[in-house]
Amino acid sequence: MSELPLPPATRRLGLSDIEVSPIAWGMWRLAENGRTVADAAKLVHAALDAGITFLDTADIYGFDGTSGFGDAEALLGEVLAAEPGLRDKMVLATKGGILPPLPYDQSPDYLKKAIDDSLRRLQVDSVDLWQIHRPDILTHPQEVARALDDAVASGKVRTLGVSNFTMFQLPALAKFLDNKLVSTQPEISPLRIDCFENGQLDQAMAFGLTPLAWSPLGGGRLAAPETARDKAVAAALDTVAEAQGVSRTVCAYSWLMAHPAGIIPIIGSQNESRIAEGAEALKVRWTRQDWYAVLVAARGVPLP
């Protein structure tokens, strides 16, 4: 049986000249459980030491429904301030545009302030990727584009991406931007397979966008599946995981990475050894048969 290609050691972020690791680490859950700056630094090092140099955060990470907006960025900012030189070892991505309880605001004045606030909390001069977290349907894309192009022109943001955009919202924004979008960040996992058939990944390939997969383990459900469908997907992954001597979760990351769009899974674990283990995904080989077996388990019905 022919094997699909292994992921490359690094990928280009969209059509930019920024090289990123083919797997990322996310900090949605960083400012939880009373984590200290020293604890957070250990996680950052666990990722970097494993070759996971693409780090994803957002201004809203840390918000618990009433307070905590900006806390995950601020914690990472303290890690970066305490260790000069660390910033240059990572490709740093953040997001903005969700303003609880509004809930979304992408008016130009708000975006400018959101980006400035993120840089201040992160204690950096610029970020490598700034993403709109969720679309604000009440701002015209031309207005959004103006604010984002200004952020690039000012040197505060190197590249631009979107998250949770529809197939129509993405090209509408791209049409008005002077800068090319480099990434799109939908939810993708062996339990969330819409992207594989609804055209979003085809759009990413057509536009030259790098897809970043949020919640690549379905928010952890794949580690402890409960429903019959989730168990069937886990079993299909386990077949390959056992044959290749890796964990089911590593196998799940590698399943996403085998897609030709060059999906970058964002590891959500805040556990040092689980973050480091993620790098094993680079060595897992998939055949078409095994890959489609996972897809069919997730569909719950055979392919046509």
Element holding 201 (H helix, E strand): helix 200-207
Tell which residue, 96, 164, 98, 107, has the closest CA to residue 130: 96
Element holding 43 (H helix, E strand): helix 37-49
Rounded Cα distance, 207 and 191, in Å: 25
Catalytic residue among 61, 110, 253, 292: 61
Distant-in-sequence, close-in-space partners of 160: CB < 8 Å, separation ≥ 6: 129, 130, 131, 148, 151, 152, 177, 179, 180, 181, 182
CB of 16 or CB of 164, closer to ligand NAP? 164
For residue 63, the one-letter residue type is F
Q: Is 110 annotated as catalytic?
A: no
Least separation in angstroms between CB 1 and ligand NAP: 28
Q: Which two tokens stand for residue 45?
A: 């090092």
Rounded Cα distance, 161 and 194, in Å: 20
Least separation in angstroms between CB 222 and ligand NAP: 7
Rounded Cα distance, 55 and 86, in Å: 12
Burial 60-78 (b: 16+ CB within 10 A, else e): bbbbeeeeebbbbbbbbbb
Site for ligand NAP, rule CB under 6 A: 26-29, 56, 133, 163-164, 185, 214-220, 223, 249, 266-271, 274
Least separation in angstroms between CB 202 and ligand NAP: 20
Phi and psi (nearest 5°) for 100?
A: -65, 140
> Is residue 173 within 8 Å of residue 164, measured between CB atoms?
no
Least separation in angstroms between CB 289 and ligand NAP: 25
CB of 3 or CB of 212, closer to ligand NAP? 212
CB of 8 or CB of 220, closer to ligand NAP? 220
CB of 213 or CB of 236, closer to ligand NAP? 213
Least separation in angstroms between CB 161 and ligand NAP: 10
Give the bridge partners for 98, in sequence order: 104
Catalytic residues, which ones? 61
